[in-house]
Amino acid sequence: MAGARREGLRIEYARCDVTDRAQVRELIRREDALAGGRLAGVVHNAGVDTAARLPKKTDEEILRTVEVKIEGFRNLFEEVRDRDLKFWCGVGSLTGRLGGMVGQLEYAAANDGLARLGRWAARRAAFPVMTLAWPTWDRIGLISNFAATLRYMAAIDVADGLERWRAELLAGSEGEITFVGPLGRAIDPGQAVGYPVVPALPGFATAHPKIFHLGEVTAYQPHARLTARVVFDPPTHPRAGRLPYRRRPRAAALPPAGERPAGRRMDRPGGLPRAAGRSAGEDRGVAAAPGRPRDPAGPRGPRLPRGTRLDRGGPLPPRGGRGRPRGEPAHRPPDRCAPAARPAAPRRPDTTLRSGPPFLHWRGAVVPLSPWTAGPEGRVVAEVPRCPPADLWATPLVPGTALPIAALENVVRRCATQGDGLSVTADPLILGRIAPHSAERGPTRVEGDPSLGVWRITDADSGDPVATVSGLPGPLATPTE
């Protein structure tokens, strides 16, 4: 202050309890007299904070923290609300938006109230009213444990903060203005979703994927446990529709020829049932060339092995049993898979077909699927292209991936695949421990030991380790892709 006076600036330090209306009135009167009635603005920066857990605080300490912010604001505003000020600046905290650290319950509530009072005052005054919500300042201010605050958010540099503060005062800003640094590791779920995660947020690339995948938190214990329910829907996650979950029919044992019901058409190879919800017209005419079979049950039904050919003939009656579908010829050659036509007889329920275990099917439409080849010492190897995050998510702000999604998908598929590689038994599958080493930059090479259940994912170009999966054994034989 002495240096300011030498430069011709008048800065005075006056003591005042802002919760006492009489003291506030006297302070304003005195300042008016010194400034010749030309009071330019007000900065309400008074505050106290008792940083302790709730059981250690008294009611008086809690009320004092709230009163300095709230009652102080009201007393100052009532004394100047009819003046022609250039600005009103309430000094708040990000605790009002995000919630404070442990022990700052009432301090966070007071700053939230300050921001709301600012909006209330703006509708009743002719001058602009702003509330500046600051993070921790670098080693100054009310914070008693500076190191602990950095676990929540980075501190703001003092010179940078003063320059930004000066710019807001000169601009006569209005409303609540927040200053945010990179989020820290101690942010809890409520704080994580309490502030808009936009690209301008420092550390956006790191914070956005974590918040994007947070889901609905069902249980939370600070620094100990977090349980959440995450729902993937096809409109935003194209991958959700590319891994169908079906039930595969078991092989049907047909009764001897003499016991077959008269007039029964065997026009579905293997006795596959008609897909639920499909009409007779929809289920007819699915002949396919060898090597490119078509699935008569559609995307939700069982798939046929490669090389299957379906030859069907003889128009089937539509529902109701009358006539034939429009456009069908009156006569077609007999079905080579069907016995000669006989008088119709009541159809007996087919007890030879049973639903088999559920299974998964990888299409590879989103996440690239790679063939596995035999490697040295009984290992298997796959070269896997990278799956861009934009292929996984159909959202305006696409979250980045911390793990090599395509490589992990191929490992899971390799460990769960049975038989021809088209389906897997969908028993509860617990993915082993994943140890990430570095960020995925491009194609990866996966080398695994199915007997040990260890899979090493490395950068295909540099050979640098990307991730290691352990505890996930798989079939020893290399599957035919």
- 327 backbone dihedrals φ, ψ, rounded to 5°: 90, -10
Q: Which tens digits make up the pLDDT trace of 32-73? A: 888 787 889 999 999 999 888 889 999 999 999 999 999 999
Determine the pLDDT at residue 50: 86
Domain coordinates in residue numbering, the chain:
2-181, 358-470
Q: Which tens digits make up the pLDDT trace of 128-151? A: 999 999 999 998 887 778 888 888
CA–CA gap between residue 288 and residue 311 (Å, rounded): 8
Under a CB-based contact definition with an 8 Å cutoff, are residues 146 and 139 in contact? Answer: yes
In the chain, which residues have pLDDT < 70? Answer: 241-360, 417-431, 478-481
Determine the pLDDT at residue 244: 60
Under a CB-based contact definition with an 8 Å cutoff, are residues 389 and 399 in contact? Answer: yes
pTM over 0.85: no
Determine the CATH number of domain 2-181. Answer: 3.40.50.720
The residues pairing with 455 across neighbouring beta strands, listed in sequence order, are: 448, 469
Determine the pLDDT at residue 417: 57
